[in-house]
Amino acid sequence: MSRVTVRVPAKINLQLAVGPLRDDGYHELVTVFCALSLWDEVTVEGSSRTLITVDGENAAAVPLGPDNLAWRAVELLAAEAGREPALAVHLHKGIPVAGGMAGGSADAAGALLAAATYWELGLPRERLLQLAAGLGSDVAFSLVGGVALGRGRGERLTTIETGGTCTWVVAVAAGGLSTPAVYAEHDRQPGPAGPPEPSAAVLGGLAGGDPYALAAAVSNDLQAAACRLRPELARTLAAGRDAGALAALLSGSGPTCLFLAADAMHGARLASMLSAAPGVRRVHVAHGPVPGAAVVPGG
Ligand code: C5P
């Protein structure tokens, strides 16, 4: 095999319930992840040393050294397999960079799967998921895809069956927002004490495949904190509601905003209205759930 390409989806959180800060610096979460049809492509091939290159939207904002989770994924897998981490990793970005859609985690998941395939390691899927969970809170979900309930810091996953696919308009903001900064701002005005619970309304809306039921149920505990840090986000969310979105929701820790549409036609209309909204740099129409990381045949 001269090279391997893996395609990995973005994620959104249909519920993001943030519990107490733990001793390890992470927050206890209950979250409902959904994989969305914006994709990064991760290609690996042989090299004398670890090397990262990037192209696609906002590629200049992606770190090229050990700060990149894909780099750490290659090093981790090489240590696991007892080999030199000699791989060139090329990232083709379709997921907004630093947007709260797990783009960095997707690249780590893609690099793990691509490198394991390239080196023909034959690792059990369970082991790959364990390695993924050690790299970051969202990396295991990027491998699994679909819809899953996440607990712990988001890495303990239970797959959820759903009754259909929903259309989402994704409004990408100019610039990123730091995930630790948004969690820290949340901690200044935390919600109710005690461990969060999965939302029966979100799970029911997903089971019925009903966008209206889902719209009434989606929630993100980080939304208020992100809007305090970046007040323009509240205006973007309001613009989507005014344009007729069934729901307006911050994606993860932001600053990307999500708007649920009734169907694909409605999504296209919303997207054209939102492209002129305050603070919106770019708009995508996407659908989910979609499958997790997968090797592209012949890629
Ligand atoms: O695990 P990941 O690298 O995605 O997390 C980035 C940062 O987000 C953490 O360092 C932490 O500040 C914050 N975080 C958190 N609780 C979580 C997940 C992330 O506080 N469950």
Identify which of 183, 187, 220 to mutate to test ligand 1's pocket (most ligand atoms within 8 A of the CB): 183
The pLDDT value recorded for residue 110 is: 98
- The pLDDT score that the predictor gives to residue 189 is 87
Q: List alpha helices for the chain, DSSP H.
A: 69-81, 103-118, 125-135, 139-144, 179-188, 200-208, 211-217, 223-229, 232-242, 264-274
Q: Which residues of 204-221 are buried (b: 16+ CB within 10 A; e: fewer)?
A: ebbeeebbebbbebbbbb
Q: Residue 80 and residue 87: Cα distance in Å, rounded?
A: 15
**Ligand 1 atom with the shortest distance to the CA of 153:** 21
Tokens of 176: 């990123």
Q: What is the pLDDT of residues 100-130, one digit of tens each?
A: 999 999 999 999 999 999 999 999 999 999 9
Ligand 1, residues at Cβ distance < 6 Å: 25-27, 29, 136-138, 153-154, 179-180, 183
Atom number of ligand 1 nearest to Cα 102 = 4
Position 195 scores a pLDDT of: 75
CA of 259 to the centre of ligand 1 (A): 24
Provide the annotated active-site residues: 11, 138
Residue nearest to atom 10 of ligand 1 (CA): 180
Choice from 15, 16, 21, 26 to test ligand 1 binding pocket (greatest atom count within 8 A of CB): 26
Distance between CA 242 and CA 246 in Å, rounded? 10
Q: Are the CB atoms for 113 and 127 separated by under 8 Å?
A: no
Spans of the chain, pLDDT less than 70: 193
The pLDDT of residue 175 is 82
| For ligand 1, mutation pick of 21, 156, 179 (most atoms within 8 Å of CB) | 179
Q: Report DSSP state, residue 221.
A: T
